[in-house]
């Protein structure tokens, strides 16, 4: 795949990884570079939470505990999202699918339109590093830029580089919720690594390199598609 100015059949890339693996960070770069829609199921839920929609109220009750939102509502939300026009060039999925039922629903939806996944990139990071990253993550409430006190700090402590807003933390980045999310990932989402390995789409990637090195590796994979 070339950059966003070229013509190409739509591309679907899945970023698979534990909480804090860097899915959101890399999806943002990849989406912009290749003109792909960045679909984060977590961001979609958080938008609903902040607008206090019925979906948001339901999702929050699971997110606060570090549990997965039920498959039926998650699948419906993402299927509606991929039908939107900005997905014409393709999609980079961040945090979806997370269960085998979600993966099957995505496969079926793409197959119906004679499309298929290009790559499922498994970004691997050890738990200790994930916990350190998530407790050091700060986010701009105005523009959603993500910072990290250890690896990617803002220029002025506590404020966004782009608009100066006071940075905040995610409710589910509390240490006990982080541990629960990691546990849920191992039990419910990690089996998807084998699911995509069996279908031949899996690409493994060392997620403990610097953000720039991980981007380079992700771009290398995208260029083969
Ligand atoms: P979601 O929002 O998807 O959260 P998550 O999977 O827990 O992942 P994170 O967003 O925490 O991490 P990330 O991999 O995006 O890392 P990031 O790039 O920010 O889901 C939240 C909740 O919503 C779930 O718990 C569930 O309840 C619900 N949900 C969502 N999707 C669902 C689904 N499909 N089904 C059911 N329920 C669902 O990076 C983390 C930090 O590290 C940042 O500070 C960043 O700057 C830093 N960093 C990134 N890369 C590097 C690097 N290479 N080196 C050093 N630091 C780095
Ligand atoms: Mg994320
Ligand atoms: Zn900002």
Q: Is residue 138 part of a domain?
A: no
How many folded domains does the chain comprise? 1
Q: Is residue 42 part of a domain?
A: yes
Q: Is residue 130 part of a domain?
A: no
Q: Is residue 159 part of a domain?
A: no
Write out the catalytic residue numbers: 23, 98, 137, 170, 181
Q: Is residue 152 part of a domain?
A: no
Query: At which residue do the structure tokens 């984060």 appear?
Result: 40
Give pLDDT, residue 8: 78
Q: Is residue 170 part of a domain?
A: no
Ligand 1 pocket, residue 148 CB under 6 Å: yes
Q: Is residue 174 part of a domain?
A: no
Q: How far, in Å, are 133, 134, 138, 165, 166 from residue 158 at the CA level?
A: 16, 16, 8, 8, 6
Give pLDDT, residue 3: 62
Domain housing 61: 11-125+189-222
Give pLDDT, residue 7: 67
Q: Which atom of ligand 1 is nearest to the CA of 95?
A: 3
Look up residue 200 and give its two tokens: 């031949």
Q: How many CB atoms lie within 10 A of CB 50?
A: 11
Counting ligand 1 atoms within 8 A of each CB, the residue from 14, 15, 22 with the most, and so the one to mutate, is 22
Ligand 1 pocket, residue 181 CB under 6 Å: yes
Ligand 3 center to residue 139 CA distance, Å?
8
pTM for this predicted structure: 0.95
Give pLDDT, residue 213: 98
CATH code, domain with 214: 3.40.50.300
Q: Is residue 213 part of a domain?
A: yes
Q: How far apart are CA 137 and CA 116, in angstroms?
A: 34
Ligand 1 pocket, residue 90 CB under 6 Å: no
Ligand 1 center to residue 186 CA distance, Å?
14
The pLDDT tens digits along the chain (225 residues) read: 766 555 678 999 999 999 999 999 999 999 999 999 999 999 999 999 999 999 999 999 999 999 999 999 999 999 999 999 999 999 999 999 999 999 999 999 999 999 999 999 999 999 999 999 999 999 999 999 999 999 999 999 999 999 999 999 999 999 999 999 999 999 999 999 999 999 999 999 999 999 999 999 999 999 999
């Amino acid at each position: 795949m070339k950059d966003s100015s070229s013509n190409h059949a739509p591309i679907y890339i899945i970023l698979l990884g534990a909480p804090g693996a860097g899915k959101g960070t890399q999806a943002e770069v990849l989406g912009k570079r290749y003109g792909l829609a960045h679909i984060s199921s977590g961001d979609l839920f958080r938008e609903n939470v902040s607008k206090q929609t019925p979906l948001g109220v339901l999702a929050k009750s699971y997110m606060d505990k570090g549990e997965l939102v039920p498959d039926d509502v998650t699948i419906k939300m993402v299927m509606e999202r991929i039908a939107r026009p900005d997905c014409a060039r393709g999609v980079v999925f961040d945090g979806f699918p997370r269960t085998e039922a979600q993966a099957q629903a995505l496969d079926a939806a793409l197959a119906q339109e004679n499309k298929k996944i290009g790559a499922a990139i498994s970004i691997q990071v050890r738990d200790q590093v994930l916990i350190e990253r998530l407790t050091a993550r700060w986010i701009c409430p105005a523009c959603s830029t993500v910072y990290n006190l250890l690896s990617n700090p803002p220029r002025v402590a506590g404020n966004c580089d782009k608009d100066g807003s006071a940075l905040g933390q995610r409710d589910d980045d509390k240490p006990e919720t982080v541990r629960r999310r990691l546990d849920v990932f191992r039990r419910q989402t990690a089996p998807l690594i084998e699911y995509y390995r069996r279908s031949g789409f899996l690409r493994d990637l060392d997620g403990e390199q610097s953000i720039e090195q991980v981007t380079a590796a992700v771009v290398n994979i995208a260029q083969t598609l």
